[in-house]
Chain A
Amino acid sequence: MSSSMKWKGLAALSALAISTSLSPAALADGKFDGVTLRIATWGGSNKAAIEESIVPRFEALGGKIEFVTGSPQANFAKLIAARGRAPFDVMEILDAQLPDFAQTDYLAKIDLSKVPNTKYLEPWSYNEMGMASWLTQETICYNTEKFAELGIPAPKTYRDLAIPELKGRLSIPDITSGGGLANFAAISIAAGGDLQNVKPGIDLIRDMNVLKFWSRGGETVTQFQTGDIYAAVVHAGWCVRAKNAGNPVQTVHPVIKDGIVGVQKYGRLGIMKSSSNYEAALWYVNEFVGVENQFTLSTQTGVFPTNREVVARLGADPVLKQMLELDPEMLGKQLRIDYSEVNISDWVDQWTRAIVTN
């Protein structure tokens, strides 16, 4: 081969290499080169599910995801302390925090045209300020064997927990925990109160003789394991995890009042106004509500998906089918709290003074 032919061949190969590297697929590969996206969310199995379903795909695009783990309340406190200049780009927000966020100017508007997975979501669950990322079904999780030993029937509502046999054997969420407000509201309504009058709920909780007011749902899994509790007010996901840990537990969706059975709370993803990675944050939000992540998240943590496609697939999982309410008609009967009607500070104050045994 002559020298000129060699050079021509090399030039052709180089051209091919360059054209390949500039193809749309390859361009997409480097879409987030050098971007570090910081996500404020829970640790544990929630983080593990995201690491499995989203992180590898973001890394394939050249970026890196870091987690700022903590409860939404703790992350909100960080946000306030930093006066909105958050040390994260995307944050998991609880429905109960929405009124607080409404008083601040910390969230960026989400460009919904860049979140095509909204086609799988219910209209109520998203807008420019946030995207519902999961739902929890707040339940009574009880140890079926212990209840049988004690000769007491499965509970139907919270009042059934205020019996002598369960004295010191119950764990319910502290009002400042993730599920605290939703369950407190549900207990109050079930006891005959409403969002403006929670005293019946406080009286019922005092009648329950609770062992511990949990601040992290994982505590109840340990307490079922150690035999300290026979029942807990907790979201179905923790009951799933308790069952997976070998405990003979089952969920009950409590009767709240006529026509309302079960309680929901939901989380939303918000993009911080201070984020310098807006495009990457949009990508993350879209992936989060996508089929793959929603399925992974639901099957691994027991939360309920916001993605319609995934709801239909959950019936194939025997544990989730047993623990979660999947019937669309019954889902429509579950209580969801409108926190714009709630004076949260007053609730916390009433709770602290009445429940604390100091």
Chain B
Amino acid sequence: MTVRWDLLLIPSFLFTFILLAVSQFMFLEGSFYKDLGLGRTGDSLDLVNYIRVFTDGFYLTTLWITIKVSALATICTLLFSFPVAYVIARIRSSWGMILLSGIVVSTFITIVIKVFGIIIIFSADGWLNRFLMSTGITTEPYSIIGTQEGVVIGLMYFTLGFGVLTLYSVVQTIPTSLEEAAEIHGASRPRMFMRVILPLAMPGLVAGGLMVFNMCMGAFTSAALLGGGKVFTLPVLIQRTIMMEVKYSMAGTLAAVLLVAVILINVLSILLIRRMRTARGVLA
């Protein structure tokens, strides 16, 4: 008798379908009806919400800010997490596992606590500002609240652990023998990094980068707490629209725009990377 292992997929599929697809469909469907406020919608299908989003500079700017801070946070996360992941993956002693466990544990800490930690560090009377002012680097306290830099730092802090864990598994797939061979043939460390490690890690970096970017695009807490009511990303605007203004159709429209933007950016990135690799293959 053949064992139907594929049947095990059904519970997960149903769970995901009911909780995710059905609710998303309801919002998506609602987005095509005029928003009348207080959860009420018009009777007929209408594109008025979408027309408003794509013709109103405020919504377009908010979309652009969301993409910008997410992209910056992704670049920073990759820049910070790759060296950490590389070092941990190459440590041969038990320290590697200890450090990796530390990273895993750090991802368990709720983002609210993490963000409040940042706020305290950057507070006017905090040690960082006291240091900056006592050394004359700044003349007045530097605050990250209500700034796009602050939101980028918050998003980066949110995704750093995930970035390290993803890139750790990427680095582990690169055989150390290749690095040793490059070294024997006289390659310097920077050259070895650029010509051996980076090309081999590139698919993982792209995948990890997209994962981090997607997380940033949908992140609410960091953007809400550090944005200080002055910097809006789409998730913050969606929360405000649905919870404070009770405009479900409009919130559904913004959610749909966010989802489509994320999918488009992911697809375009993958296509771009493929084209670059193909071009490199032709040149080689």
Residues on A facing B (Cβ under 8 Å) = 73-74, 76-77, 80-81, 83, 100, 103-104, 168, 174, 176, 210-215, 222, 226-228, 345, 348, 352-353, 355-358
Provide the B35-65 mask, 1 if CB < 8 A to any CB of A, else 0. 0011100000000000000000010011001
Chain B nearest CB, measured from A225 CB (Å): 9
Within 8 A of A (CB), among B178-227: 224
Contact B146 A357 (CB under 8 A): yes
Q: List 22 A-B contacts (CB under 8 A).
A: A77-B242, A77-B246, A81-B39, A83-B39, A104-B38, A168-B143, A176-B240, A176-B244, A210-B230, A211-B143, A226-B120, A226-B125, A228-B125, A228-B141, A228-B143, A348-B244, A353-B58, A355-B229, A357-B231, A358-B65, A358-B231, A358-B232
Given known contacts A228-B143, A352-B58, A353-B58, A212 and B38 CB-to-CB distance under 8 angstroms: no
Closest to A226 in B: B123
Q: Which residues of A contact B124 (CB under 8 A)?
A: 226-228
Given known contacts A80-B38, A212-B146, A227-B125, A356 and B240 CB-to-CB distance under 8 angstroms: no
Chain A nearest CB, measured from B254 CB (Å): 13
Q: Which residues of B contact A80 (CB under 8 A)?
A: 38-39, 246, 248
Q: Which residues of A contact B37 (CB under 8 A)?
A: 345
Provide the B239-255 mask, 1 if CB < 8 A to any CB of A, else 0. 01011111010000000
Distance in angstroms between the alpha carbons of A100 and B61 in the assembled complex:
30
Given known contacts A227-B123, A227-B125, A100 and B38 CB-to-CB distance under 8 angstroms: yes
B119 within 8 A of A: yes
Distance in angstroms between the alpha carbons of A304 and B126 in the assembled complex:
34
Distance in angstroms between the alpha carbons of A35 and B174 in the assembled complex:
64
Q: Which residues of A contact B244 (CB under 8 A)?
A: 73, 77, 176, 348
Closest 5 CB pairs of A and B: A213-B229, A227-B125, A226-B123, A176-B244, A80-B39
Within 8 A of A (CB), among B42-100: 58, 61-62, 65
Distance in angstroms between the alpha carbons of A74 and B123 in the assembled complex:
29
Distance in angstroms between the alpha carbons of A80 and B126 in the assembled complex:
43
B145 within 8 A of A: yes
Distance in angstroms between the alpha carbons of A43 and B228 in the assembled complex:
22
Q: Report the count of interface residues on B (CB-CB < 8 A).
A: 30
Given known contacts A213-B228, A214-B229, A356-B230, A345 and B145 CB-to-CB distance under 8 angstroms: no
Count of inter-chain pairs, beta carbons less than 8 A: 83
Q: Which residues of B contact A210 (CB under 8 A)?
A: 146, 230
Contact B123 A212 (CB under 8 A): no
Interface centre among B39, B224, B242, B244 (most CB of A within 10 A): B244
Distance in angstroms between the alpha carbons of A118 and B40 in the assembled complex:
35
Q: Which residues of B contact A83 (CB under 8 A)?
A: 39
- 7 more CB-based (< 8 A) A-B contacts, given A100-B246, A212-B146: A176-B245, A210-B230, A211-B143, A226-B119, A226-B124, A353-B58, A358-B65
Contact A174 B38 (CB under 8 A): no
Q: Which residues of A contact B246 (CB under 8 A)?
A: 76-77, 80, 100
Distance in angstroms between the alpha carbons of A353 and B58 in the assembled complex:
7
Contact A355 B230 (CB under 8 A): yes
Cβ-neighbour of B61 out of A76, A222, A358 (below 8 A): A358
Chain B nearest CB, measured from A352 CB (Å): 7
Distance in angstroms between the alpha carbons of A76 and B61 in the assembled complex:
29
Q: Which residues of B contact A77 (CB under 8 A)?
A: 242-244, 246
Given known contacts A228-B143, A352-B58, A357-B146, A211 and B228 CB-to-CB distance under 8 angstroms: yes
Closest to A351 in B: B229
Distance in angstroms between the alpha carbons of A73 and B65 in the assembled complex:
26
Chain A nearest CB, measured from B112 CB (Å): 12
Distance in angstroms between the alpha carbons of A74 and B145 in the assembled complex:
24
Cβ-neighbour of B229 out of A103, A174, A226, A353 (below 8 A): A174
Contact A74 B243 (CB under 8 A): yes
Chain A nearest CB, measured from B199 CB (Å): 38
Chain B nearest CB, measured from A195 CB (Å): 19
Chain B nearest CB, measured from A58 CB (Å): 29
Chain A nearest CB, measured from B176 CB (Å): 47
Contact B62 A345 (CB under 8 A): no
Distance in angstroms between the alpha carbons of A41 and B39 in the assembled complex:
21
Distance in angstroms between the alpha carbons of A176 and B141 in the assembled complex:
28
Closest to B56 in A: A353
Contact B230 A357 (CB under 8 A): yes
Closest to B244 in A: A176
Q: Which residues of B contact A176 (CB under 8 A)?
A: 240, 244-245
Q: Which residues of B contact A212 (CB under 8 A)?
A: 145-146, 228-230
Contact B62 A358 (CB under 8 A): yes
Distance in angstroms between the alpha carbons of A222 and B224 in the assembled complex:
16
Distance in angstroms between the alpha carbons of A348 and B244 in the assembled complex:
10
Contact B126 A226 (CB under 8 A): yes
Chain B nearest CB, measured from A86 CB (Å): 13
Cβ-neighbour of B146 out of A211, A222, A345, A353 (below 8 A): A211
Given known contacts A80-B38, A104-B38, A228 and B230 CB-to-CB distance under 8 angstroms: no
Distance in angstroms between the alpha carbons of A210 and B145 in the assembled complex:
10
Chain A nearest CB, measured from B134 CB (Å): 15
Distance in angstroms between the alpha carbons of A254 and B171 in the assembled complex:
61
Q: Which residues of A contact B143 (CB under 8 A)?
A: 168, 211, 228
Q: Which residues of B contact A228 (CB under 8 A)?
A: 123-125, 141, 143, 145
